[in-house]
Amino acid sequence: MESVHLIVGLGNPGAAYAQTRHNAGFLLAERLAQRWKWNWAEERKFKARVAKGQQAGRRVLICQPQTFMNLSGETVGAVAGFYQVTPDRVLVAVDDADLPLGEIRLRASGSSGGHHGLESIEQHLASRTFPRLRIGIGRREGAREITDFVLGRFEEAESVSMGKVLDRASDQVECWVDGGIEKAMNRFNGVIDSTNEKKK
Protein backbone atom coordinates (compact mmCIF):
# COMPACT_ATOMS: atom_id res chain seq x y z
CA MET A 1 0.00 0.00 0.00
CA GLU A 2 1.25 3.49 -0.86
CA SER A 3 2.64 5.22 2.22
CA VAL A 4 0.63 8.18 3.49
CA HIS A 5 1.77 11.33 5.27
CA LEU A 6 -0.80 12.60 7.79
CA ILE A 7 -0.68 16.24 8.88
CA VAL A 8 -2.85 16.99 11.92
CA GLY A 9 -3.66 20.52 13.03
CA LEU A 10 -4.98 20.67 16.59
CA GLY A 11 -7.69 23.04 17.79
CA ASN A 12 -11.25 23.30 19.00
CA PRO A 13 -14.17 23.28 16.55
CA GLY A 14 -16.85 25.95 16.37
CA ALA A 15 -17.10 29.67 15.80
CA ALA A 16 -16.37 30.49 19.44
CA TYR A 17 -12.83 29.14 19.07
CA ALA A 18 -12.07 30.29 15.54
CA GLN A 19 -8.89 32.40 15.21
CA THR A 20 -7.91 31.83 18.85
CA ARG A 21 -4.32 31.19 19.91
CA HIS A 22 -5.14 27.63 20.97
CA ASN A 23 -6.23 26.93 17.38
CA ALA A 24 -2.83 27.62 15.84
CA GLY A 25 -2.73 24.03 14.58
CA PHE A 26 -6.11 24.47 12.87
CA LEU A 27 -4.82 27.67 11.26
CA LEU A 28 -1.79 25.89 9.83
CA ALA A 29 -3.95 23.06 8.47
CA GLU A 30 -6.17 25.63 6.76
CA ARG A 31 -3.17 27.50 5.35
CA LEU A 32 -1.79 24.27 3.85
CA ALA A 33 -5.12 23.29 2.28
CA GLN A 34 -5.40 26.79 0.83
CA ARG A 35 -1.83 26.70 -0.50
CA TRP A 36 -2.33 23.31 -2.13
CA LYS A 37 -5.87 24.17 -3.30
CA TRP A 38 -7.41 21.15 -1.61
CA ASN A 39 -11.04 20.97 -0.54
CA TRP A 40 -12.19 20.05 2.94
CA ALA A 41 -14.66 17.21 3.53
CA GLU A 42 -16.47 16.20 6.70
CA GLU A 43 -15.45 12.66 7.68
CA ARG A 44 -17.95 11.82 10.38
CA LYS A 45 -16.63 8.31 10.91
CA PHE A 46 -13.37 9.91 12.06
CA LYS A 47 -14.97 12.97 13.73
CA ALA A 48 -12.77 15.11 11.51
CA ARG A 49 -12.43 17.53 8.63
CA VAL A 50 -10.06 16.03 6.07
CA ALA A 51 -8.39 17.35 2.92
CA LYS A 52 -6.58 14.91 0.61
CA GLY A 53 -4.20 15.12 -2.31
CA GLN A 54 -0.72 14.62 -3.71
CA GLN A 55 2.24 16.69 -2.58
CA ALA A 56 5.81 16.15 -3.79
CA GLY A 57 4.63 12.92 -5.39
CA ARG A 58 3.33 11.56 -2.10
CA ARG A 59 -0.16 10.89 -0.82
CA VAL A 60 -0.95 13.38 1.94
CA LEU A 61 -3.90 13.91 4.30
CA ILE A 62 -4.57 17.07 6.28
CA CYS A 63 -6.79 16.53 9.31
CA GLN A 64 -8.59 18.77 11.79
CA PRO A 65 -10.05 16.68 14.63
CA GLN A 66 -13.56 17.82 15.57
CA THR A 67 -13.54 16.15 18.99
CA PHE A 68 -12.27 19.18 20.92
CA MET A 69 -8.62 19.42 21.83
CA ASN A 70 -8.41 17.04 24.78
CA LEU A 71 -9.84 14.10 22.78
CA SER A 72 -7.82 14.67 19.59
CA GLY A 73 -6.26 11.22 19.85
CA GLU A 74 -9.60 9.55 19.10
CA THR A 75 -9.55 11.06 15.62
CA VAL A 76 -5.82 10.72 14.99
CA GLY A 77 -5.79 7.09 16.07
CA ALA A 78 -8.76 6.28 13.85
CA VAL A 79 -7.37 8.05 10.77
CA ALA A 80 -3.87 6.64 11.21
CA GLY A 81 -5.29 3.14 11.67
CA PHE A 82 -7.59 3.32 8.65
CA TYR A 83 -4.89 4.61 6.30
CA GLN A 84 -2.11 2.53 7.92
CA VAL A 85 0.00 5.58 8.72
CA THR A 86 3.01 4.82 10.92
CA PRO A 87 3.68 7.29 13.78
CA ASP A 88 6.79 8.71 12.09
CA ARG A 89 4.54 9.93 9.25
CA VAL A 90 2.01 11.62 11.55
CA LEU A 91 2.99 15.28 11.96
CA VAL A 92 1.00 17.12 14.62
CA ALA A 93 0.89 20.93 14.59
CA VAL A 94 0.10 22.45 17.97
CA ASP A 95 0.20 25.77 19.82
CA ASP A 96 2.88 26.26 22.47
CA ALA A 97 2.64 28.98 25.12
CA ASP A 98 6.23 28.29 26.21
CA LEU A 99 7.55 29.45 22.83
CA PRO A 100 7.31 33.15 21.97
CA LEU A 101 5.07 34.23 19.15
CA GLY A 102 7.18 34.12 16.00
CA GLU A 103 9.04 30.89 16.76
CA ILE A 104 8.40 27.37 15.44
CA ARG A 105 10.03 24.13 16.54
CA LEU A 106 9.71 20.75 14.83
CA ARG A 107 10.87 17.63 16.65
CA ALA A 108 10.79 13.97 15.61
CA SER A 109 9.37 12.89 18.99
CA GLY A 110 9.15 14.04 22.57
CA SER A 111 6.88 14.56 25.54
CA SER A 112 3.50 16.24 25.55
CA GLY A 113 4.82 19.09 27.68
CA GLY A 114 1.46 19.07 29.45
CA HIS A 115 -0.48 19.72 26.24
CA HIS A 116 -3.66 17.67 26.53
CA GLY A 117 -4.09 17.28 22.78
CA LEU A 118 -0.65 15.70 22.47
CA GLU A 119 -1.31 13.52 25.53
CA SER A 120 -4.45 12.15 23.89
CA ILE A 121 -2.61 11.40 20.64
CA GLU A 122 0.22 9.65 22.48
CA GLN A 123 -2.37 7.48 24.20
CA HIS A 124 -4.21 6.49 21.02
CA LEU A 125 -1.09 5.95 18.88
CA ALA A 126 0.59 4.15 21.80
CA SER A 127 3.73 6.06 20.83
CA ARG A 128 5.62 9.29 21.39
CA THR A 129 7.65 8.86 18.22
CA PHE A 130 5.56 11.10 16.00
CA PRO A 131 6.75 14.51 14.76
CA ARG A 132 5.27 17.53 16.49
CA LEU A 133 5.48 21.06 15.14
CA ARG A 134 5.12 23.53 17.99
CA ILE A 135 3.89 26.98 17.01
CA GLY A 136 4.79 29.63 19.55
CA ILE A 137 1.95 31.79 20.85
CA GLY A 138 3.77 33.23 23.88
CA ARG A 139 2.13 34.13 27.17
CA ARG A 140 1.45 37.21 29.29
CA GLU A 141 4.54 38.17 31.26
CA GLY A 142 4.35 36.90 34.82
CA ALA A 143 1.01 35.14 34.29
CA ARG A 144 0.60 31.64 35.67
CA GLU A 145 -3.01 31.12 34.63
CA ILE A 146 -3.03 31.25 30.84
CA THR A 147 -6.40 29.73 29.92
CA ASP A 148 -8.04 33.03 29.03
CA PHE A 149 -4.99 34.11 27.04
CA VAL A 150 -4.73 30.83 25.12
CA LEU A 151 -8.45 30.84 24.30
CA GLY A 152 -8.35 34.50 23.32
CA ARG A 153 -8.03 35.81 19.78
CA PHE A 154 -4.85 37.24 18.32
CA GLU A 155 -4.48 40.99 18.55
CA GLU A 156 -3.96 42.89 15.30
CA ALA A 157 -0.16 43.02 15.51
CA GLU A 158 -0.06 39.37 16.55
CA SER A 159 -2.17 38.40 13.54
CA VAL A 160 0.40 39.97 11.21
CA SER A 161 3.19 38.00 12.90
CA MET A 162 1.13 34.82 12.85
CA GLY A 163 0.61 35.16 9.11
CA LYS A 164 4.38 35.06 8.62
CA VAL A 165 4.66 32.15 11.04
CA LEU A 166 2.03 30.13 9.17
CA ASP A 167 3.79 30.74 5.85
CA ARG A 168 7.11 29.52 7.21
CA ALA A 169 5.51 26.59 9.05
CA SER A 170 3.84 25.62 5.76
CA ASP A 171 7.24 25.69 4.07
CA GLN A 172 8.55 23.45 6.85
CA VAL A 173 5.73 20.94 6.43
CA GLU A 174 6.34 20.82 2.68
CA CYS A 175 10.03 20.19 3.35
CA TRP A 176 9.13 17.39 5.79
CA VAL A 177 6.93 15.66 3.20
CA ASP A 178 9.54 16.02 0.46
CA GLY A 179 12.85 15.77 2.31
CA GLY A 180 12.27 14.24 5.74
CA ILE A 181 12.39 15.35 9.35
CA GLU A 182 16.08 16.25 9.68
CA LYS A 183 16.09 18.53 6.67
CA ALA A 184 12.89 20.24 7.77
CA MET A 185 14.21 20.79 11.30
CA ASN A 186 17.57 22.15 10.18
CA ARG A 187 16.16 24.54 7.60
CA PHE A 188 13.16 26.02 9.38
CA ASN A 189 13.31 25.69 13.18
CA GLY A 190 13.72 28.95 15.02
CA VAL A 191 12.50 32.52 15.12
CA ILE A 192 10.80 33.92 12.03
CA ASP A 193 12.40 37.25 11.14
CA SER A 194 13.73 39.09 8.12
CA THR A 195 17.12 37.38 8.45
CA ASN A 196 16.01 33.76 8.26
CA GLU A 197 13.29 34.60 5.73
CA LYS A 198 16.06 35.60 3.36
CA LYS A 199 17.72 32.18 3.83
CA LYS A 200 14.84 30.46 2.09
List active site positions.
22
Provide the 3-class DSSP secondary structure of residue 121: helix
CB atoms within 10 A of CB 190: 15
Spatial neighbors of 13 by CB under 8 A, at least 6 apart, are 64, 66, 68
pLDDT at residue 193 tops 80: no
DSSP for 2-50, written as a single string: --EEEEEE----SGGGTTBGGGHHHHHHHHHHHHHTPPPEEETTTTEEE
Higher pLDDT, 86 or 195: 86
Name the percent of the chain in helix, strand, coil, to the closest 5: 45, 25, 35
65 three-class SS: strand
Which structural domains are found in the chain, ordered by start?
A: 4-198 (3.40.50.1470)
Q: What is the mean pLDDT of residues 14-40?
A: 95
pLDDT at residue 185 above 90? yes
For residue 3, the tally of other CB atoms under 10 A from its CB is 11
The predicted model gives 20-36 an average pLDDT of 96
Query: Which among 104, 111, 116, 109 has a CA at the least distance from the CA of 131?
Result: 109
